[in-house]
Copies of this chain bind each other. A is one copy, B any other.
């Protein structure tokens, strides 16, 4: 499928559904048969995406419920496409109806209108973060596959506004999971919470940086020269709403580094002392931890009226309404994990394809 609603070659996810339609959902295809379906994992990740666990974020009371339509038999995958739906609750559209011909700043309303032809705000319902729930479900199946090989993905908040966590080689997973911001440092977590409260009280929003570490990746995953592992991860991450950039290993700091410093020197176990490469060399995993970070912009939905125009080009006020998150963190965390898992599961199968071929 080349219409943009699908990711992956062998292990693929296709999503469907608009924010204000009947349901969102997807089809996971290419998932191997005989995997135990871990419903708890799915529920946990869905919940992590849904609620902020703290008062700053928009909360929806009822939990989203995933309904599986196919691909599972007696709690195991059967090798066939796994279709699932999550019904949309009765959404209060009153805010949208009021604003429907005023362009929301830094939002997809305008581009969706021009591309698909629906000029009111509901026309960009596909661009809503609502769609990402399907990614989380797809990602859970990818994780079920990956963890059979011991591959572990974990994500954390490395920066909100100007508050950064210290650079640590190996963030403590227990700390990450112990606080609602997935922050690997307790003191920083508290600063971040204070800051978010400030931002919220000013009816504003703030950007964030999320980091991801993947452990126990087998050597050899990635398909140069175009489907490099970092290239495919970059695509997947930049497809997340609000993502503005990605960096691997040393990332943008590499710009001011010298080769003598940046080169990853091997020890006699074929491991590198530093990991500026972020676990990927020449587009292929080298057995070190894969490391990357993603920049997210401040959420464009703010609780203040904004100057804008309507679809005819007249100056208009875009009126504040609804209830919105202060920051993509923490709800974006399970989405980043899911996208990472989807890319790795696909590359794992592509890698496997060549394993048995040669004597």
Contacts and interface: CB of A to CB of B under 8 A. Distances in A.
Given A15-B225, A114-B286, A117-B358, 19 more contacts: A4-B228, A14-B27, A15-B81, A16-B83, A17-B81, A17-B83, A21-B69, A79-B354, A110-B270, A110-B286, A145-B357, A207-B254, A231-B235, A245-B247, A268-B313, A269-B313, A276-B297, A352-B357, A356-B356
A336 interface: no
24 contacts: A1-B1, A3-B12, A10-B350, A15-B81, A18-B70, A22-B68, A34-B117, A73-B122, A79-B116, A111-B219, A115-B220, A127-B282, A207-B257, A228-B238, A231-B234, A234-B234, A245-B245, A245-B252, A255-B295, A257-B297, A263-B300, A265-B306, A350-B353, A352-B353
A27 B84 CA distance: 12
A297 B300 CA distance: 32
A88 to B, nearest CB: 9
Interface in A23-48: 23-25, 27, 29-30, 32-35
Given A207-B257, A295-B254, A69 B226 contact: no
Contacts of A16: 27, 69-71, 80-83
Contacts of A112: 282, 284
A105 to B, nearest CB: 4
A193 to B, nearest CB: 17
Contacts of A101: none
B78 A123 contact: yes
Contacts of A226: 4-7, 235-236, 239
B117 A33 contact: yes
